[in-house]
Amino acid sequence: MIVMKFGGTSVEDAKAINRLAEIVKGRRDRKPVVVVSAMAKVTDALVAMSNAAANGALPEALKQLRQLRQRHLTVLGDLVSGKREAEGRAEIQQQFENLQDVLRGIASLGELSPRTTDNVLSYGEVLSSRIIAAALASRGINAVHVDSRKVIVTDNNFTRAVPQEETTDRFREVVRPLVNADKVPVMGGFIASTPEGITTTLGRGGSDFSAAIVGAALGAKRIEIWTDVSGMMTTDPRLVPDAQRIDAISFDEASELAYFGAKVLHPATLIPAVEKNIPVYVLNSREPSNKGTCIRSQAPKSRNMFRAIAAKKGARVINIRSPRMLMAHGFLRAIFEAFDRHGVTADLVSTSEVSVSVITDSSRDISALLEELRKLGKVEVETGKAIICLVGENVRGRVGMAASVFSVAAGCQVSLHMISQGASEINISFVIEERDVPEVVRALHARFFPAKPESKSGVRETDVVAIPQPTDVEAVEVA
């Protein structure tokens, strides 16, 4: 069996869902399980609605709710008719009534907890998965809706919940029999629940992660991530329009890229895939014949110095200075124990005789951590930074690469805040001001990925080295 995940833009309207149906039809004999995101921009709208309700603007929240309900009803009406449409309409109306009650509850409390946030955000995937299951069923596909919250079990770390072992058993009990009976389960990505049945989410962009969880739980032969670009590219194509498609990339390289900002994959996606050694394909739902990118345990070395460049905005530098650090061991341990206690991850670290600089994501409140760090030394926090990360297996053991990277950055006349030739040995990273990202990424891309003439197919490829076809890869996979 295979897993096919369709992201927000791949399910954004009836036209996109019709394309999805054709793609799924083409894979019917491979026993697909379909995982879908909320329709494009729906999760953002739900975030806005819940914030409005919490901030005393309930009428605005309810106005947005009515618009969202209309959008879902219209898409349903464009896709199915008769009894299916009537049932779908009733279901959508019911879901929006429930959502309205939740928003009223938020408004009367004037408070939005992470648990309630997850409840509100879950509606996007609950609705899209039901509509898409109905659309597939009406196109002759034996589709059945499966509520992901009944099978993906997580801890209660709301807004970034972590899947638990029990998930595999639930998949064996609930989803495996459906696949064996040649049914096509359709599930919402991103959403899950605690063992007690309280709704959780896996973090923004988490539907990719859901697809990998499904794939690992069922021992899929491959996991397909269908999105709006033709695979993983040498950098974000929104930043550099002539970014080139990567034919094949290793799990390690793709994980680094996802972690350091390549939005095309949620950073946790590859963990379950690596564990079960399942190849992951990134494919374009608007151009299904494009080969996309194959991510697997090993890929042929890239001809370029690097495989790709990623940029992660929203970084924050925490500088801790203390003369006590000089010659005193145990100082670093005290700092990292504080990070650990507060559950804050360090993306990059650099140390000198008397100071330590740590880069973290700025989306979290870290006031309690800072209070603790102040007991260890003088603390300064700088925000508005970005991490630029160049990734590739070729970095391993190569001298002089950092120099060529920094000469490009120097050419842009930007100041570098921190430099690290990664502990993972396959990346070189540095920190710059967020506003400098486009210029620096474009300059690096032009230097390390010089434009190539278009191939006969009109597709640019970075790896011209022959790679095994998907079937060769799958021959060694366990079904």
Q: Could you give phi then psi for residue 362, rounded to 5 degrees?
A: -95, 15
Q: Report helix, strand or coil for 102.
A: helix
* CB nearer to ligand ASP: pick between 206 and 267: 206
Query: CB of 133 within 8 A of CB of 87?
Result: no
If binding is defined by CB under 6 A, does position 267 make contact with ligand ASP? no
Distances (CA, A) of 82 to 86, 89, 137, 271, 470: 6, 11, 13, 43, 41
Query: Shortest distance, CB of residue 131 to ligand ASP, whole angstroms?
Result: 14
Query: Shortest distance, CB of residue 375 to ligand ADP, whole angstroms?
Result: 39
List for the chain the helix, strand, coil content (%; round to 5): 45, 20, 35
Query: Shortest distance, CB of residue 54 to Mg ion, whole angstroms?
Result: 26
Nearest position to ligand ASP, beta carbon: 207
Nearest position to Mg ion, beta carbon: 205
List, in sequence order, every beta strand (DSSP E) within 301-405: 308-321, 348-351, 355-361, 378-391
| x/- map, 183-212, Mg ion, by CB under 5 A | ----------------------x-------
If binding is defined by CB under 6 A, does position 190 make contact with ligand ASP? yes
| x/- map, 147-186, Mg ion, by CB under 5 A | ----------------------------------------
The stretch near ligand ASP (CB under 6 A) out of 130-138, 173-181, 199-207, 425-433 is: 199-207
CA distance 430 to 411: 15
CA distance 200 to 190: 9
CA distance 216 to 272: 6
CA distance 454 to 400: 31
In the block, tokens 């054709």 appear at: 22
Choose the contact partner of 238 out of Mg ion, ligand ADP, ligand ASP, none; CB within 5 to 8 A by kind.
ligand ADP
CA distance 445 to 234: 8
CA distance 452 to 95: 51
Query: Shortest distance, CB of residue 182 to ligand ADP, whole angstroms?
Result: 27
Among 207, 230, 235, 360, binds ligand ASP (CB under 6 A): 207
Choose the contact partner of 295 out of Mg ion, ligand ADP, ligand ASP, none; CB within 5 to 8 A by kind.
none
Query: Shortest distance, CB of residue 233 to ligand ASP, whole angstroms?
Result: 19
CA distance 153 to 167: 5
391 burial class (0-12, 13-18, 19+ CB within 10 angstroms)? buried
* CB nearer to ligand ASP: pick between 44 and 78: 44
Query: Shortest distance, CB of residue 141 to ligand ADP, whole angstroms?
Result: 21
* CB nearer to ligand ADP: pick between 185 and 261: 261
Query: Shortest distance, CB of residue 12 to ligand ADP, whole angstroms?
Result: 9
Choose the contact partner of 228 out of ligand ADP, ligand ASP, Mg ion, none; CB within 5 to 8 A by kind.
ligand ADP
Query: Shortest distance, CB of residue 68 to ligand ADP, whole angstroms?
Result: 17
What pairing do the DSSP bridges indicate for beta strands 378-391 and 280-284? unpaired
- What residue ranges bind Mg ion (CB under 5 A)? 7, 205
